[in-house]
């Protein structure tokens, strides 16, 4: 079971409202707000795909680039002591701070 949908490179959440007895979600990891809902899993998946297609069409009509999720860069706020330790480690190893963070995440996430 998954709580995320994927279509055309976009990821969407899967939530359930017991009060409304509906499934709903939104496109995740983009700045624009795009939502969808359905009464069951199949209709939710269709509404998600339709929302992505509508979003891309609307961006095209507005002649603006759509937000793309998870572009490959992010800011990390480590705190001063961890930043210092990571930078000194990178310097000793002759690698970039980016390489230190990337390697650490690869090891942690498998």
Q: Contact 57/66 with Cβ under 8 angstroms?
A: no
Q: Give the C-alpha separation, 87 to 21, whole Å.
A: 51
Q: Would you place residue 56 in the very low, low, confident or very high pLDDT band (cuts 50, 70, 90)?
A: very high
Summarize pLDDT for 34-47 with one digit per residue, the tens: 999 999 999 999 99
Q: Contact 86/103 with Cβ under 8 angstroms?
A: no
Query: Where in the chain are the domains?
Result: 4-61, 80-109
Summarize pLDDT for 67-100 with one digit per residue, the tens: 999 989 989 999 999 999 999 999 999 999 999 9
Exposed e or buried b per residue across 1-22, where buried means at least 16 C-beta atoms within 10 angstroms of its C-beta: eeeebeeeebbbebeeeeeeee
* pTM score, whole prediction: 0.80
């Amino acid at each position: 079971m998954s709580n995320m949908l994927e279509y055309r490179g976009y990821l969407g959440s899967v939530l359930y409202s017991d009060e409304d007895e509906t499934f709903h979600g939104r496109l995740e990891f983009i700045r624009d707000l795009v939502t969808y809902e359905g009464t069951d899993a199949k209709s939710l998946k269709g509404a998600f795909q339709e929302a992505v297609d509508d979003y891309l069409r609307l961006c095209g009509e507005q002649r603006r680039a759509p937000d793309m999720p998870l572009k490959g860069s992010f800011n990390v706020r480590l705190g001063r002591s961890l930043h210092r330790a990571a930078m000194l480690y990178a310097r000793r190893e002759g690698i970039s701070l980016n390489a230190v963070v990337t390697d650490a995440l690869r090891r942690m996430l498998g």
